[in-house]
Amino acid sequence: MQVTDPSDEELLNLAANAAKNSYSPYSGIRVGAALVGENGEVILGTNVENSSYGLSICAERVAVFTAVTKGIRKFKKIAISLSDGSGIMPCGACRQVLREFGRDILVITRDKTGKTTTFYLDDLLPHSFTLKGE
Ligand code: THU
């Protein structure tokens, strides 16, 4: 069933669920991302690793690239989770890829105590590089 405009908690659960499909035999770190487009649609991603390590890709970028493939280029929020439901912060590369599509995207994760925490992308990547002047 397609979930539209889920709550932050629901979105974290969707991300944790996506992480169960992670292909991460090298790191063993199973990451899931659940991205919400401006139309409320949820787009999922998980990390996919490769025996040529540098070719591995993070869950967040899989979600963003899938969304763009579907014609969705504006995002409200993204939840990131490990498969066991614990939180993980987005890496620098993923922050920059998200930044291409907006600075006010909400990043939802969990802190070490399991409490839901949210950040604005602009606070996670201040003074960011962009060629679009936005
Ligand atoms: N990973 C993500 O999927 N997202 C992040 O933001 C950080 C790291 C993945 C990449 C790799 O498969 C594993 O976690 C260990 O770095």
How do the domains of the chain map onto residue ranges?
8-124
Q: If residue 68 lies in a helix (H) or strand (E), which one and from where to where?
A: helix 59-69
Average pLDDT over residues 30-55: 98
The residue whose two tokens read 């763009």 is: 68
pLDDT higher than 80, residue 110 = yes
**Superfamily grouping for domain 8-124:** Cytidine Deaminase, domain 2 (3.40.140.10)
Pocket probe for ligand 1: among 29, 86, 107, the residue whose CB has the most ligand atoms within 8 Å is 29
At 133 the pLDDT is 79
pLDDT higher than 90, residue 1 = no
Residue 31 CA, distance from chain mean position = 9
- Rounded distance between C-alpha atoms, residue 27 and residue 20, angstroms: 14
Name the band, by pLDDT with cuts 50, 70 and 90, for residue 91: very high
Ligand 1 atom at minimum distance from 58 CA:
3
Catalytic member of 38, 41, 60, 134? 60
pLDDT higher than 90, residue 134 = no
pTM of the model: 0.97
At 102 the pLDDT is 95
Name the band, by pLDDT with cuts 50, 70 and 90, for residue 101: very high
Ligand 1 within 6 A of 60 CB?
yes
Can 60 be counted among the known catalytic residues? yes
